[in-house]
Structure 1
């Protein structure tokens, strides 16, 4: 198996250590260095020539985008973004960045990202697209900063404000390429349950269907107010009216709309802790 020389770039030592420990599960991933800043990373890249970089986006002096902007496509390692936020990574991911991981990094998602490495690391066209996208993002950020120091038109102000609002933090985005994109406010979602390869997203007014894995929804998209109560069900805590005990340490969760959902023994303890504090 080909060894993948890997660099970790993050300003948080704990985040680096956590990722390094998870990478121990992948023998072909060889961590050759760690950097706490863009300047350190550039030096290591020139010396070590890594094949892969796990790159934090939010860093104090220069962002991860600034690092990528200084690279050339022919010398650009594969990039896996590591971020606590969706809004930056999604833009580059849409133009074929290798992958992005949300903090805290889950081992299963890490394995998926690493599986993509051998498929895409040598594709210079994809890297060129990534660099181009990062350049555009950087220009948007600079334009937003410049706008704070001088008077701008209403249209420019709206454009500058746009990066500060992240749809995926406020609403669940449902799209399948055929139907109109649905944007469902998280506070309107009562519960979500699995139906084969699809998820049924229930609100007071309607049920929406989306193709997704329940685990990926929980790990990467749903706010903390959503809690798993069954292997196939998550519920919005704010809609639970009461818990009715059953046998075998199981419960029925009665919702405000009087819908009753089964709480399996596996998830009952964690649910009670969240409700009772």
Structure 2
């Protein structure tokens, strides 16, 4: 296939430079320009007609989301967000981003993201690919809830399938915590965030194995990754994970958490 014309958009030059160096390892990619704000990016998009944009979110003036709003849907390049903030993941997938990478970007995750773009650009998948996708969809549908996403237990892994992106299998042992964002759930590992459409109640009662405990109406933690529990006022607690992420434990769930930790 032809090389993917690629545009890098980030207000930090060091981030652009670092990503450009990593992309040199991928022969499918041809970087055709750099931009440090939305206005310059729009001008380059008009000039170069890129196939792919690596896009930062928080930039002076206008954000990466505002850039996407100004693109024609039928001509929109593939978008891979590259950001230091996990909290935008839900919104990123709502605007049909192909992937969401957290800084610093690891080479393995970069390779996965590029593979998705390449797969999307291929005019027709081969027979084996079709069979693999059909198998995933068929297995997922067997346990599909009423939501449009699918999740189930499969070989000690959580299956995430949102209908717009390839299925993800996340080992339960790698999940640190899960939090709610509207109708979506953000599944956090030590260095990645995955988004799924699911209900908190269904996850904790029907899907997640023992060792996952609800600590708030919008938060579940994996007890294996709890480093410290400190009392606050009004019978609430501050829970710290092994990656130093601090989470609030509400009074409603504090007793259950303490019992689970002491078990």
Q: Structure 1 unaligned segments of length 5 or more: list them.
A: 124-161, 193-200, 205-221, 227-235, 237-256, 260-277
Q: Does 1:51 align with 2:73?
A: no
What is the CA-CA distance between 1:258 and the residue it aligns to?
9.3
Aligned residues: 163
Q: 8 Å contact 1:9–1:37 — kept in the other structure?
A: yes
With over 3 angstroms needed to count, the CA separation of the structure-2 counterparts of 1:173 and 1:63, relative to structure 1, is closer
Q: Does 1:101 align with 2:101?
A: yes
Q: In structure 2, what is the equivalent of residue 33 of structure 1?
A: 33
Aligned-residue Cα RMSD (Å) equals 4.0
Please state whether the residue corresponding to 1:7 is helix, strand or coil.
strand
| Counterparts of 2:195 and 2:35, CA distance in 1 | 37
What is the CA-CA distance between 1:80 and the residue it aligns to?
0.4
Larger CA Rg, structure 1 vs 2: 1
| Counterparts of 1:62 and 1:97, CA distance in 2 | 18
| Counterparts of 2:76 and 2:195, CA distance in 1 | 33
| Counterparts of 2:194 and 2:2, CA distance in 1 | 38
Q: In structure 1, what is the equivalent of residue 233 of structure 2?
A: none
Q: In structure 1, what is the equivalent of residue 256 of structure 2?
A: none
Q: 8 Å contact 2:53–2:80 — kept in the other structure?
A: yes
| Counterparts of 1:175 and 1:40, CA distance in 2 | 33
> TM-score by structure 2 length?
0.51
Q: In structure 2, what is the equivalent of residue 180 of structure 1?
A: 202
What is the CA-CA distance between 1:184 and the residue it aligns to?
4.5
Q: 8 Å contact 2:186–2:196 — kept in the other structure?
A: no
Which stretch shows the higher mean deviation, 83-92 or 59-68?
A: 83-92
| Counterparts of 1:175 and 1:51, CA distance in 2 | 26
- Alignment partner for residue 224 of structure 1, among 243, 248, 257? 243
> TM-score by structure 1 length?
0.49
